Amino acid sequence: MIQYTIKRLLLTIPTFFAISLIIFLVLNVAPGKPGAQSSGQGESTTGQEQKESYRIFKEQFNLDRPILLNTRFNLDTAEVREMLAISSNLSGEEGARERIEASDDLDDYGNYLVQHLLVLLDDADPEIRRLAANQLTAASQSRFVNDRRGDAEAAREQNREIGKANDLVKTWGYTADAPDADKLAIHKQWKDWYSKNEETYVYSAGEKLSIFFTDTRFFKYWDNLLHLDFGVSTVDRKPVLDTVLSKLKYSLSLTTTAVILAYIIAVPTGIFSAVKQGKPIDSVITVLLFVMYSLPTFFTGTVLLKLLSEGDPVAWFPTGNFQSMDVGAMTTWQSTKDIVWHLILPIATYTSTALAALSRYARTGVIDVIRADYIRTARAKGLSEPVVILKHAVRNGMIPVLTLLGGLLPTLVAGSVVIEVIFNIPGMGQFLFSSINLRDYNAVMAVLLASSSLALMGILLSDLSYALVDPRISFD
Amino acid sequence: MSRSGPNGVVIGALALILVGTLYNAIQINNTEQLGIDNQKKLDEILKNGVRTSGQAGSGGSFSGEMVNNASLMGEGCLTDQAKADQADPTNILSKPSQCRAKGDYVRGGTLRSVLASDPRGLNPYIANGADVTEYGLLMNDYMAERDINNPDNWLPRLATSVTTADDGLTYIIKLQEDVYWHKPAVDWDSGNFDWLKGDGPDGRHEFVADDYVFVWDMLQNNQVAGRTASLRNYFEAMDSIEAVDEHTLKVTYNERLYTNLAMLLELAPVPRWLFMYDQDGREYEQATWGLKLNEHWFNQRGIGVGPYKYAAWESGVKLEFEANEMYWGEPPAFDRILRPIVKDQNAFPRKVKAGEIDITSIQPEQYKTVVLDADGEILDNEHIQTTKFSTLTYFYMGWNMDDPKFSDKRVRQAMTMSFDRQGIIDSVFHGLGTLHTGPYPKQVACYDKSIEPYPYDIDAAKALLEEAGWTDSDGDGIRDKVIDGQKMDFEFTFLMYGSSTEYETLASIWREALLEVGVKMTPSPVEWSTMLKKMDEREFDVYSGAWVPGWDTDLMQLWHSTEADKPQSSNRIGFRNEEADKIAEELRRTFDEDRRTELCHDFHALVHDEQPYTFFYARERPVLYWDHLNEPQFSLNWPYQDKRYWSFQSEPER
Restricting to A residues 436-475, those with a Cβ less than 8 Å away from any Cβ of B are: 439
- Rounded CA separation A136/A121 (Å): 10
User: Which segments of B324-408 does DSSP mark as H helices, in order?
Assistant: 348-353, 364-366
The candidate with the shortest Cα–Cα distance to A417, out of A408, A407, A403, A427, is A427
The DSSP symbol for B126 reads T
User: CA-nearest residue of chain B to A235?
Assistant: B120
Q: Which residues of B touch A427 (CB under 8 A)?
A: 316
Torsional class of B167: left (φ above 0), alpha (ψ -120 to 50), beta (otherwise):
left
pTM: 0.87
Cβ contact B194:B210 at 8 Å: no
Tell whether B545 lies on the interface with A, counting CB pairs under 8 A: yes
Mutate to test the interface with B, among A100, A106, A312, A331 (most CBs of B within 10 A): A331
Residue B615 has pLDDT above 80, yes or no: yes
Q: Is the dihedral of CA A144, A147, A151, A157 positive or negative?
A: positive
Q: How far is it, in rounded angstroms, from Cα B440 to Cα B603?
A: 10
**In angstroms, rounded to a whole number, what is the distance separating the alpha carbons of residues A180 and B485?**
47
In chain A, what residues touch B121 (CB-CB under 8 Å)?
Answer: 236-237
Tell me the one-letter amino acid at A79: E
Averaging pLDDT over each range in A33-37, A173-177, B539-543, which range is the top one? Answer: B539-543
Fill in the amino acid letter for B94.
S
B15 touches chain A (CB under 8 A): no
pLDDT single digits (tens) B299-330? 999 999 999 999 999 888 999 999 998 999 98
CB atoms within 10 A of CB B207: 25
Residues with Cβ < 8 Å from B156, sequence gap 6 or more?
B78, B82, B85, B86, B93, B144, B176
Q: With CA atoms as reference, report the closest residue to B398 among B574, B624, B210.
A: B574
Q: Which amino acid is at B541?
A: D
Cite the beta strand spans of B148-254 per DSSP E: 154-156, 159-163, 170-175, 238-245, 248-253
Q: Which residue of B has its CA nearest to A298?
A: B344
Nearest to A424 among B32, B127, B347 (CB): B347
Is-contact B496 B523, C-beta < 8 A?
yes
End-to-end CA distance of chain B: 61
**Residues A404/A361, Cβ–Cβ less than 8 Å:** yes
Q: What is the pLDDT of residue B46?
A: 64
| CB within 8 Å: B533 and A43 | no
* Cβ within 8 Å, pair B530-A32: yes
Identify all chain B residues contacting A96, using CB atoms and an 8 Å cutoff.
536-539, 567-568
Q: How far is A310 from chain B (nearest CA, A)?
A: 6
Residue B47: band (very low, low, confident or very high) from pLDDT cuts 50, 70, 90: low
Contact indicator for B138, B306 with CB cutoff of 8 Å: yes
Q: Is B120 on the interface with A (CB under 8 A)?
A: yes
3-class SS of residue B144: strand
HSE-CB at B63 with a 13 A cutoff on CA atoms is: 18
Q: What percent of chain B has pLDDT over 90?
A: 63
Nearest to B29 among A167, A331, A422 (CB): A331
With CA atoms as reference, report the closest residue to B336 among B139, B116, B182, B112: B112
Average pLDDT over residues A441-455: 90
Strand bridging mode B542-548 / B384-399: antiparallel
Burial of B199 (0-12, 13-18, 19+ CB in 10 A): exposed
Task: State how far the Cα of B324 lies from the Cα of B207, in Å rounded to an integer.
Answer: 15
The answer to whether the beta carbons of residues B254 and B180 sit under 8 Å apart is no
Q: Looking at the complex, does the CB of residue A42 fall below 8 Å from at least one CB of chain B?
A: yes
Mean pLDDT across B116-134: 89
A contact residues 84-143, partner B, Cβ 8 Å cutoff: 89, 95-97, 99-100, 103
Q: Which among A54, A167, A232 has CB closest to B295?
A: A232
Q: Say if the Cβ atoms of B120 and A235 lie within 8 Å.
A: yes
CA distance linking residue B424 with residue B502, whole number of Å: 9
Taking the CB of residue A284, how many other CB atoms lie within 10 A of it?
Answer: 12
Task: Please check whether residue B437 touches A, CB under 8 A.
Answer: no
User: Do A331 and B537 make contact, defined as CB atoms within 8 angstroms?
Assistant: no
Nearest chain B CA: its distance from A274 CA (Å): 35
| CB < 8 Å to A43, chain B | 393, 545-548
Please identify among residues 367-426 of chain B the ones whose CB lies closer than 8 Å to any CB of chain A: 380, 393
- Among the partner-chain residues A96, A315, A329, the one whose CB lies closest to the CB of B538 is A96
Q: Does A219 touch chain B (CB under 8 A)?
A: no
Task: Tell me if B299 and A237 make a contact (CB, 8 A cut-off).
Answer: yes
Given CB atoms, is B512 within the 8 Å cutoff of chain A?
A: no
Q: What is the pLDDT of residues B260-274, one digit of tens each?
A: 999 999 999 999 999
Q: Which residues of B fall within a CB distance of 8 Å from A63?
A: none
Nearest to A428 by CA among A445, A416, A440, A442: A416
Give A332's contacts in chain B (Cβ within 8 Å): 25, 28-29, 32
- The Cα B20–Cα B29 span in angstroms is 14
Q: Residue A88 has what pLDDT?
A: 87
* Nearest chain A CA: its distance from B467 CA (Å): 30
Q: What is the mean pLDDT of chain B?
A: 89
The Cα A459–Cα A452 span in angstroms is: 10
Report CA torsion sign: B33, B36, B40, B42: positive
What's the pLDDT at B37? Answer: 80
pLDDT at residue B596, as a whole number? 94
For B381, which residue in chain A has the nearest alpha carbon?
A311
Does residue B53 carry a pLDDT above 50?
no
Average pLDDT over residues A434-449: 90
Strand B110-112 and strand B336-340: the pairing is parallel
Nearest to A193 by CA among A132, A122, A136, A109: A136
Say if residue B50's pLDDT is above 50.
no
Q: How far is A448 from chain B (nearest CA, A)?
A: 19
CA separation for the pair B113, B336 (Å, rounded):
11
What digits encode the pLDDT tens for the residues B333-368? 999 999 999 988 888 998 998 888 999 999 999 999
Closest of B13, B175, B9, B8 to residue B79, by C-alpha: B175
Q: Which residues contact A274 (CB under 8 A, 6 or more apart)?
A: A362, A363, A364, A365, A366, A367, A370, A397
> How close A416 gets to chain B, by Cα (Å)?
14
- Does pLDDT of A458 surpass 80? yes
Whether the CA torsion B137, B139, B143, B149 is positive or negative: it is: positive
Mean pLDDT of chain A, nearest integer: 86
pLDDT of B71: 47
Asked if A30 and A23 count as a contact pair (C-beta separation under 8 A), the reply is no
User: Is A53 or B480 the better-scoring residue by pLDDT?
Assistant: B480
- Whether the pLDDT of residue A368 is over 80: the answer is yes
Chain segment A253-299, per-residue pLDDT in tens: 898 899 899 999 998 999 999 988 889 999 999 999 989 888 888 89
With beta carbons under 8 A apart, name residues in chain B contacting A47.
227, 230-231, 233
Q: Does B259 touch chain A (CB under 8 A)?
A: no
Least confident window among A390-399, B76-85, B112-121:
A390-399
User: What CA–CA distance (Å, rounded) separates B376 from B97?
Assistant: 37
Strand pairing category for B491-497 and B542-548: parallel
Of B227, B546, B549, the CB nearest to A42: B546
* Contact B347/A at CB under 8 A: yes
Q: With contacts defined as CB-CB under 8 Å, which chain A residues touch B25?
A: 332-333
B326 vs A332: CA distance, rounded Å: 33
Q: Burial level of A320, CB count in 10 A (0-12/13-18/19+)? A: buried
* Cβ pairs A/B, distance under 8 A: 212
Positive or negative CA dihedral for B157, B159, B163, B166? negative
For residue A339, which residues of chain B lie inside 8 Å, CB to CB? none
Cβ–Cβ contact A46 with B under 8 A: yes
- What per-residue confidence (pLDDT) applies to B480? 93
State whether residue B283 is helix, strand or coil.
Answer: strand
In DSSP terms, which residues pair with B154 in a beta bridge?
B146
d(CA A192, CA A190): 5
- In angstroms, the CA B187 to CA B196 distance is 11
- Residue B560: the pLDDT is 93
Q: Which residues between 277 and 306 in chain B have a beta carbon less than 8 angstroms from any beta carbon of chain A?
A: 285-288, 291, 294-295, 299-300
Q: Which residues contact B642 (CB under 8 A, 6 or more apart)?
A: B134, B137, B148, B634, B635
| Distance of residue B611 Cα from the nearest chain A Cα, in angstroms | 20
Q: What are the CA-CA distances from residue B220 to residues A211, B225, B272 (Å)?
A: 34, 11, 15
Question: For residue A238, what pLDDT is reported?
Answer: 85
ipTM computed for the complex: 0.84
How many beta carbons lie within 10 A of that of residue A111, not counting itself? 17
Residue A335 CB neighbours (<10 A) = 16
A53 vs chain B: nearest CA distance in angstroms? 5
Contact B350 A243 (CB under 8 A): no
Specify the 3-state DSSP secondary structure of A343.
Answer: helix
Say how far apart CA B333 and CA B323 lie, in whole Å: 8
Nearest by Cα to A256 from A450, A447, A415: A415
Is the Cβ pair B232, A321 closer than 8 Å? no
Check residue A14 and give its pLDDT.
95
Predicted confidence band of residue B511 (pLDDT cuts 50, 70, 90): very high
User: Do B298 and B270 form a contact (C-beta atoms < 8 A)?
Assistant: no
